[in-house]
Amino acid sequence: LLDQLARLPIPILVDCTASDQMTPVYHAALSRGIHVVAANKKPLTEPFATYTETRSLARRAHRSYRYETTVGASLPIVETLAQLVRTGDRIHLVEGSLSGTLGYLANELTSGVALSQAVLKAKELGYTEPHPRDDLSGKDAARKALILAREAGLQLELSDIVVEPFVPESILAHDALPEFFDALKRFDAEFDARIRGLKAEGRVLRYLATVDLRGEKPTLRVGPVGVPAEHPATRLRGTEAFVAFTTKRYAEYPLVVQGAGAGGAVTAAGVVADVLALSQGLRGR
């Protein structure tokens, strides 16, 4: 199939799966001169050596490997960061609310909805994975943080990220949904007290990813944070995502990109944009 694809004028492999088996396929494609456009986070969060191999294979073959939609759907986040790095800027801090689902939950909880109710509603609206723990664990946000960290030049692994789940691990351990929701319900009061405590301090709950390159050793953290009123993340509504890049050039105020960061339409549009950018570049425009 790849050999046939390679005969097209501009062959592009578009990966819209969430499979962790795609790296060998990418390698086979790139070595046949096929470009890769991916909405799939898994190959980008493989061990660093594999990640590097894919990218250098693309470089050696003079082929594109684009994956804008892996973070924030079609919001211009990956390419903006790549461009800062490419033009010699120095990244100090990347901070973002990268999970539309957890952003939605944080908003619901802040407006007084009980935790178990908010998760149930999010599930009914189709915002969560089939089992909501896959969102609440923070692992998806961690993958996105790793993609950004690697784009910023850091040689890190998923295991280097400090991930604090949205709710305690003991709740996430429940495989069966009824038990899972029961456990959430027993946690409602504690979570509510936490939200009230934050409010009393003028803070708002957010689930943030932070890539901090300011210290001697870069740190990656994903977890719930009580952000102060002046923080850009307090303004997020609905399932909005945002990323703020603080850099040498954007030192006083960060470069901020904000908007709907999840959903079929915006992700599909982002994939199309990657394909078009690639083919337009090749035609010299």
Catalytic machinery residues: 144
Q: How many Å apart are CA 266 and CA 241, to the nearest integer?
A: 12
76, 129, 163, 221: which one contacts a second copy (CB under 8 A)?
76
- Per CB under 8 A, 284 contacts a second copy: yes
Residue 238's CB: how many other CB atoms inside 10 A?
11
Nearer to a second copy, 57 or 149 (CB): 57
Count of residues interacting with a second copy (CB under 8 A): 49
CB 169 within 8 A of CB 156: no
| Residue 79 or 129 with smaller CB distance to a second copy | 79
Q: Report the residue number, 100 or 138, with the smaller CB distance to a second copy.
A: 100
For residues 194 and 29, give the distance between their C-alpha atoms in angstroms, rounded to a whole number: 50
Q: Binding to a second copy by residue 276, rule CB under 8 A?
A: yes
Interface pick for a second copy out of 63, 90, 131, 190 (rule CB under 8 A): 63
23 and 54 Cβ atoms separated by less than 8 Å: yes
3-class DSSP assignment, residue 96: strand
Name every residue whose Cβ is closer than 8 Å to that of residue 103 and which is 6 or more positions away in sequence.
97, 206, 207, 236, 238, 239, 240, 241, 261
Tell me if 186 contacts a second copy by CB under 8 A.
no
Site for a second copy, residues 189 to 248, rule: CB under 8 A: 232, 235, 237-238, 240
- Token look-up 């953290």 returns 221
As given in the structure block, the two tokens for residue 113 are 């909805």
Name which position in 4, 8, 216, 285 contacts a second copy (CB under 8 A).
285
Would you say 35 or 133 has its CB closer to a second copy? 35
CA torsion angle for 275, 278, 283, 285 (degrees, to 10)? 110
**Span from 36-44, 117-125, 195-203, 273-281 in contact with a second copy (CB under 8 A):** 273-281
Give contact residues for a second copy (rule: CB under 8 A): 35, 58-59, 62-65, 74-76, 79-80, 83-84, 86-89, 232, 235, 237-238, 240, 249-250, 252-260, 265-266, 269-270, 272-273, 276-278, 280-285
